[in-house]
A and B are shown apart, each in its own frame.
Chain A
Amino acid sequence: MHRDAQLRALMDRKVASLASLDQLLAGVQHGSRAALKRLYELESRRLYGIALRIARRPEVAADALQDTFVQVWQNAASFSPERGNAAAWLTGIVRYRALDALRKLGREVLSDDPALGDTGDEPDIVAQIDLRLAKDALRRCLDELEEKQRRCIVLAFVDGLSHAEIARRLPAPLGSVKSWVRRGLLSLRSCLEP
């Protein structure tokens, strides 16, 4: 057996004992498929939930999830724990994959599809902030924003809505939405930056 294959086999046996996402990503960097599988077991429900919320269609969310893990397999080397948080890195990948898929489908068409209703029957995501977001810096800074700025930013990040879609959802003029997003980002930045 080749030396790197032996090393991989050793790593595969060790995977069960690897706890952190950082360690698993390091295993993936060295070509351990067992590490990728473990990462999938730990993270796929969270990441699929994010993709589904943005893509709104299960088949589109599934494509985004598949692309995400293939990309993780190929690009694990571009992640380094010194530079950031592994969960945030994975979240970034799945969100961009889901947003890309939406753009390819033509997000305007999709969001105008009445079957997918931009909908009132799901719980108001902005109201969930108080219930589900830890009382950390982001929560405190979001609380400092004006209500409209906060709503725009949360709808965009969690639901993947564009300026125009937020304008339709609220409803509000497009120009106002753009300005709320912009001012919200500037306030968040000055609040979050030490």
Chain B
Amino acid sequence: MIPDTPEELHVLAGEYVLGVLEPDAAREVAGALAQNAALSRAVRFWEERLHPLSGLASPAEPPAGMWQRIESGIDGAAKPGWWNALWLWRAVAVAATAVAACLALYIAFAPPAAGPSYVAVLHAPQGQQPAFVATASPRGLLVHAVASETAPSDRGFELWAIPPGAKPISLGMMRDDGRLELGTLPPAISPGTTLAITLEPKTGAPHPAPSSAPVFLGTLVPAK
């Protein structure tokens, strides 16, 4: 039971930070931190204020090979991000049928291009309404809006390529008219690559990684 009076909440948070709670009680506190802002503030208060006491433990040399162990631990654990999120890929799967229908129409009317070309229809993760269409060929990549989607004034749409199993790679900010043209084809572009658009600050692009979940996305498929 997480108490709701400030005094009891502070005592519980202090006992949690000290580490005196029995395992079940400690797990209950740890589990409640994400939802309970007051508890989380109280825990942070104690962590910060009691921190100098940790200086009473004498520093000690970690065992040899420790850094290598950490590196292998890192290599075994993927750095989490929204592109690993299950809901996102479920949403992509749900929308696949609608996308296929749009693509068929688009391919029928699109001009022929030399060499292999790929197309993608980008739509909101939970929606099926196309917002952007992307065409890629050896001549480059063109993404343009097919609906009147606008970004909030302080931010812009940034386009990302996400090759299967890889991290997002920024392709740059979309222009205000909803277009983005690249004269050469980025190496990350191939069938199966997901194109995603996120809302990002207008300055500093290309950003090293997206700061939020995509507002539109779609997967490139061969056009013929």
Q: Is the CB of A3 within 8 A of B206?
A: yes
Q: Is the CB of A53 within 8 A of B62?
A: no
Residues of the B chain whose Cβ atoms lie less than 8 Å from the Cβ of A133: 52-53, 55-56
Q: Is the CB of A62 within 8 A of B63?
A: yes
Whether B152 sits at the interface, judged by CB under 8 Å, is no
Comparing B71-79, B111-119, B191-199, the segment that makes contact with chain A is B71-79
**Choice from A3, A50, A73, A182 contacting B57 with Cβ under 8 Å:** A50
Q: Is the CB of B59 within 8 A of A49?
A: yes
Q: Is the CB of A45 within 8 A of B209?
A: no
Instruction: Type the 1/0 row for B161-183, where 1 means its CB is closer than 8 Å to any CB of A.
Output: 00000010110000000000000
Cα–Cα, bound, A45→B54 (Å): 13
Residues of the A chain whose Cβ atoms lie less than 8 Å from the Cβ of B7: 186
Q: Is the CB of A185 within 8 A of B14?
A: yes
* Max chain A C-beta neighbours (<10 A), residue from B44, B54, B63, B69: B54
What's the interface size class on B, roughly?
35 or more
Instruction: Type the 1/0 row for B148-170, where 1 means its CB is closer than 8 Å to any CB of A.
Output: 00000000000000000001011
* Max chain A C-beta neighbours (<10 A), residue from B66, B70, B188: B70
Cα–Cα, bound, A125→B58 (Å): 10
Instruction: Type the 1/0 row for A77-120, where 1 means its CB is closer than 8 Å to any CB of B.
Output: 00000011101110110010001000100000000000000000
Whether A173 sits at the interface, judged by CB under 8 Å, is no
Residues of the B chain whose Cβ atoms lie less than 8 Å from the Cβ of A4: 167, 169-170, 206, 208-209
Cα–Cα, bound, A4→B79 (Å): 15
Q: Is the CB of B20 within 8 A of A189?
A: no
Q: Is the CB of B79 within 8 A of A85?
A: no
* Max chain A C-beta neighbours (<10 A), residue from B20, B53, B54, B67: B20
Q: Is the CB of A52 within 8 A of B57?
A: yes
Whether B98 sits at the interface, judged by CB under 8 Å, is no
Q: Is the CB of B23 within 8 A of A103?
A: yes
**Choice from B49, B58, B66 contacting A62 with Cβ under 8 Å:** B66
